[in-house]
Protein backbone atom coordinates (compact mmCIF):
# COMPACT_ATOMS: atom_id res chain seq x y z
CA UNK A 1 0.00 0.00 0.00
CA UNK A 2 2.86 2.34 0.86
CA UNK A 3 4.45 1.95 -2.61
CA UNK A 4 1.12 2.67 -4.36
CA UNK A 5 0.75 5.92 -2.44
CA UNK A 6 4.37 6.80 -3.30
CA UNK A 7 3.70 6.14 -7.02
CA UNK A 8 0.57 8.30 -6.93
CA UNK A 9 2.46 11.13 -5.22
CA UNK A 10 5.25 10.89 -7.84
CA UNK A 11 2.65 10.88 -10.63
CA UNK A 12 0.88 13.96 -9.24
CA UNK A 13 4.21 15.72 -8.74
CA UNK A 14 5.31 14.98 -12.32
CA UNK A 15 1.92 16.06 -13.67
CA UNK A 16 2.28 19.36 -11.79
CA UNK A 17 5.79 19.85 -13.19
CA UNK A 18 4.51 19.07 -16.69
CA UNK A 19 1.71 21.64 -16.33
CA UNK A 20 4.17 24.30 -15.15
CA UNK A 21 6.53 23.52 -18.03
CA UNK A 22 3.71 23.70 -20.59
CA UNK A 23 2.53 27.02 -19.16
CA UNK A 24 6.09 28.43 -19.35
CA UNK A 25 6.46 27.14 -22.92
CA UNK A 26 3.17 28.77 -23.87
CA UNK A 27 4.32 32.09 -22.38
CA UNK A 28 7.62 31.96 -24.25
CA UNK A 29 5.94 31.12 -27.56
CA UNK A 30 3.47 33.98 -27.06
CA UNK A 31 6.24 36.45 -26.29
CA UNK A 32 8.20 35.27 -29.34
CA UNK A 33 5.25 35.72 -31.67
CA UNK A 34 4.35 39.13 -30.24
CA UNK A 35 7.93 40.36 -30.53
CA UNK A 36 8.19 39.07 -34.11
CA UNK A 37 4.94 40.84 -35.01
CA UNK A 38 5.98 44.12 -33.39
CA UNK A 39 9.43 44.06 -35.00
CA UNK A 40 7.87 43.38 -38.40
CA UNK A 41 5.46 46.26 -37.95
CA UNK A 42 8.25 48.62 -36.88
CA UNK A 43 10.33 47.68 -39.92
CA UNK A 44 7.34 48.27 -42.19
CA UNK A 45 6.71 51.63 -40.52
CA UNK A 46 10.36 52.64 -40.92
CA UNK A 47 10.33 51.69 -44.61
CA UNK A 48 7.05 53.57 -45.09
CA UNK A 49 8.48 56.72 -43.49
CA UNK A 50 11.61 56.61 -45.64
CA UNK A 51 9.50 55.98 -48.74
CA UNK A 52 7.27 58.94 -47.89
CA UNK A 53 10.27 61.23 -47.48
CA UNK A 54 11.67 60.07 -50.82
CA UNK A 55 8.31 60.59 -52.53
CA UNK A 56 8.04 64.11 -51.08
CA UNK A 57 11.50 65.07 -52.33
CA UNK A 58 10.85 63.54 -55.76
CA UNK A 59 7.47 65.33 -55.89
CA UNK A 60 9.13 68.69 -55.29
CA UNK A 61 11.57 67.96 -58.06
CA UNK A 62 8.85 66.91 -60.48
CA UNK A 63 6.71 69.93 -59.56
CA UNK A 64 9.60 72.32 -60.21
CA UNK A 65 10.46 70.52 -63.47
CA UNK A 66 6.85 70.57 -64.76
CA UNK A 67 6.49 74.21 -63.68
CA UNK A 68 9.67 75.23 -65.45
CA UNK A 69 8.57 73.41 -68.62
CA UNK A 70 5.16 75.10 -68.54
CA UNK A 71 6.60 78.47 -67.65
CA UNK A 72 5.01 78.91 -64.21
CA UNK A 73 6.36 76.96 -61.22
CA UNK A 74 3.08 77.15 -59.32
CA UNK A 75 1.30 75.24 -62.10
CA UNK A 76 3.72 72.37 -61.60
CA UNK A 77 2.76 72.20 -57.93
CA UNK A 78 -0.94 72.27 -58.84
CA UNK A 79 -0.48 69.42 -61.31
CA UNK A 80 1.46 67.29 -58.83
CA UNK A 81 -1.09 68.12 -56.12
CA UNK A 82 -3.92 67.07 -58.42
CA UNK A 83 -2.15 63.80 -59.13
CA UNK A 84 -1.85 63.10 -55.40
CA UNK A 85 -5.49 64.10 -54.82
CA UNK A 86 -6.54 61.58 -57.48
CA UNK A 87 -4.25 58.91 -55.99
CA UNK A 88 -5.67 59.64 -52.53
CA UNK A 89 -9.20 59.27 -53.85
CA UNK A 90 -8.31 55.88 -55.35
CA UNK A 91 -6.73 54.72 -52.10
CA UNK A 92 -9.79 55.88 -50.18
CA UNK A 93 -12.17 54.04 -52.50
CA UNK A 94 -10.16 50.79 -52.41
CA UNK A 95 -8.86 51.06 -48.81
CA UNK A 96 -10.50 47.85 -47.63
CA UNK A 97 -8.98 45.60 -50.27
CA UNK A 98 -5.64 47.44 -50.64
CA UNK A 99 -4.86 48.27 -47.00
CA UNK A 100 -7.22 46.78 -44.41
CA UNK A 101 -7.31 43.19 -45.68
CA UNK A 102 -3.54 42.80 -46.37
CA UNK A 103 -2.56 44.38 -43.03
CA UNK A 104 -5.04 42.19 -41.14
CA UNK A 105 -3.74 39.10 -42.90
CA UNK A 106 -0.14 40.07 -42.16
CA UNK A 107 -0.82 40.49 -38.45
CA UNK A 108 -2.83 37.26 -38.27
CA UNK A 109 -0.12 35.30 -40.12
CA UNK A 110 2.58 36.67 -37.84
CA UNK A 111 0.63 35.81 -34.71
CA UNK A 112 -0.39 32.34 -35.87
Residue 83 lies in a domain: yes
Mean pLDDT of the chain: 87
Q: Give the chain's domain count.
A: 1
Residue 9 lies in a domain: no
pLDDT of 63 reads 96
pLDDT of 58 reads 96
- 65, 58 contact by CB (below 8 A): no
Segment 69-91 shows an average pLDDT of: 94
Residue 40 lies in a domain: yes
Q: Using the CB atoms, write b or e for 48-83: b if 16+ within 10 Å.
A: eeeeeeeeeeebeeebeebbeeeeeeeebbeebeee
Residue 41 burial by Cβ neighbours in a 10 Å radius (0-12, 13-18, 19+): middle
pLDDT of 1 reads 59
Distance CA 26, CA 3 (A): 34
Residue 31 lies in a domain: yes
Q: Does residue 111 carry a pLDDT above 80?
A: no
- 76, 62 contact by CB (below 8 A): yes
Range of the domain at 48: 21-111
Q: Does residue 60 carry a pLDDT above 80?
A: yes
pLDDT in tens, 1-43: 567 777 777 877 888 888 889 989 998 888 888 888 788 888 8
43 or 62, which is more confident: 62
Residue 39 lies in a domain: yes
Residue 106 burial by Cβ neighbours in a 10 Å radius (0-12, 13-18, 19+): middle
Q: Quote the pTM value.
A: 0.61
| Residue 81 C-alpha from the chain's centroid | 28
Q: Does residue 109 carry a pLDDT above 80?
A: no
Amino acid sequence: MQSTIKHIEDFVSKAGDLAETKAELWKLRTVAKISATISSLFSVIAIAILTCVAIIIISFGIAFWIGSEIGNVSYGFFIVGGFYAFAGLLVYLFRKQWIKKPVSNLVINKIL
